[in-house]
């Protein structure tokens, strides 16, 4: 016969009182403290942007309407700097060379990274090794890369012409010829900057579900059909964004013409940024340099806004 334990009387059972919610003022103070802490962490970055990005940009816009020489008080001249720059014979050549460089960079430097990413994505062995090899040029300082290619392009003992002689092919003037200088710089820029683009494409390709490729193979799709109907649609956003960034970057090309060709021969490689450099540091005309900078800023800003608007409208229609 089992005994049941006697229950204590109801009076002996302690009932915990329900905890009152914290006052609204306490929650608000904690939320405010969290926001202050978050903005405190952002403060360093905001200060750096304000000092080294926003202030120089605003200052450049102001100087574009002034006659400014370091060490002297500025004089307001209105749009005279813009008028003088527009009538400069080098102005047309600089914009023509910059737009041609951008077009060639898109034709060469936009397709090659995507094809390399496709090849790397299909590799089964030594993937990490080839990723490092592709990214190595990015880790070389741009000026060092330009000097290296300047030696490659030397018409006499340069490596490029030596390779052509070894293959019994005609040599070229490369960066020393007015007809070949610009395409030579495009090759340098593509080699030096495509590593990061290849890795971004590779990450986008690896995020595509394998089931899509399997379904395409079951439907009888070949290699090019899989790329057209699966790969490109799945990486469309990355492709469009990298295209915008590449156009903006190539419109601001400076290092290659500055180090390799010096804007020559016969102004064949004078770009907008190189002309800005000449105005500021060779002609001591900071007003003209800032005026040309504002023109480039307005053009790139308008192009970026139009590009994003068109791509978004295309996505909405799809």
What is the residue extent of each domain of the chain? 32-63, 94-266
Torsion angles phi and psi, residue 252, rounded to 5: -110, 30
Torsion angles phi and psi, residue 256, rounded to 5: -65, -50
Cα–Cα distance for residue pair 31/146, rounded to 1 Å:
52
- Give ∠ CA 156-157-163 in degrees, rounded to 5: 105
67: part of which helix (H) or strand (E)? strand 66-67
Q: What digits encode the pLDDT tens for the residues 247-292?
A: 999 999 999 999 999 998 889 999 999 999 999 999 999 999 999 9
Q: What digits encode the pLDDT tens for the residues 89-132?
A: 999 999 999 999 999 999 888 889 999 998 888 888 888 888 88
When the candidates are 1.20.1260.10, 3.30.70.20, 1.10.3720.10, 3.30.420.40, the CATH number that belongs to 94-266 is: 1.10.3720.10
Q: What digits encode the pLDDT tens for the residues 163-222?
A: 999 999 999 999 999 999 999 999 999 999 999 999 999 999 988 888 888 888 888 888
Cα–Cα distance for residue pair 237/299, rounded to 1 Å:
23
* Residue 115 in tokens: 């094809």
Cβ–Cβ under 8 Å, residues 65 and 289? no
76: part of which helix (H) or strand (E)? strand 75-76
Q: What digits encode the pLDDT tens for the residues 46-92?
A: 899 899 989 999 999 999 999 988 877 888 999 999 999 999 999 99
- Position of tokens 């019994």? 168
């Amino acid at each position: 016969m089992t005994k049941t334990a006697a229950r204590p009387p109801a009076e002996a059972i302690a009932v915990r009182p329900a905890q009152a919610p914290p006052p609204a003022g306490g929650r608000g103070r904690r939320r405010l403290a969290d926001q202050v802490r978050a903005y405190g962490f952002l403060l360093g970055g905001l200060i750096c942007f304000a000092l080294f990005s926003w202030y120089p940009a605003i200052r450049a816009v102001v100087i574009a309407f002034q006659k400014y020489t370091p060490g002297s008080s500025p004089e307001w001249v209105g749009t005279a700097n813009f008028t003088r720059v527009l009538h400069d014979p080098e102005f047309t050549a600089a914009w023509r060379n910059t737009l041609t460089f951008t077009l060639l960079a898109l034709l060469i430097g936009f397709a090659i990274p995507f094809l390399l990413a496709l090849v790397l994505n299909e590799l089964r062995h030594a993937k990490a090794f080839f990723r490092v090899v592709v990214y190595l040029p990015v880790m070389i300082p741009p000026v060092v890369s330009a000097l290296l290619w300047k030696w490659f392009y030397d018409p006499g003992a340069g490596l490029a012409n030596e390779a052509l002689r070894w293959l019994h092919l005609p040599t070229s003037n490369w960066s020393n010829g007015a007809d070949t200088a610009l395409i030579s710089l495009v090759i340098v820029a593509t080699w030096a900057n495509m590593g990061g683009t290849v890795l971004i494409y590779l990450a986008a390709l690896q995020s595509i579900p394998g089931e899509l490729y399997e379904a395409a193979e079951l439907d009888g799709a070949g290699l090019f059909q899989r790329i057209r109907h699966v790969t490109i649609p799945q990486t469309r956003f990355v492709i469009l964004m990298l295209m915008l960034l590449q156009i903006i970057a190539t419109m601001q090309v400076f290092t290659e013409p500055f180090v390799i060709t010096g804007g020559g021969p016969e102004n064949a490689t004078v770009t907008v940024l190189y002309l800005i450099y000449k105005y500021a540091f060779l002609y001591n005309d900071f007003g003209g340099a800032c005026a040309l900078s504002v023109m480039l800023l307005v053009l790139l800003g308008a192009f970026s806004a139009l590009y994003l608007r068109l791509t978004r409208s295309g996505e909405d229609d799809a």
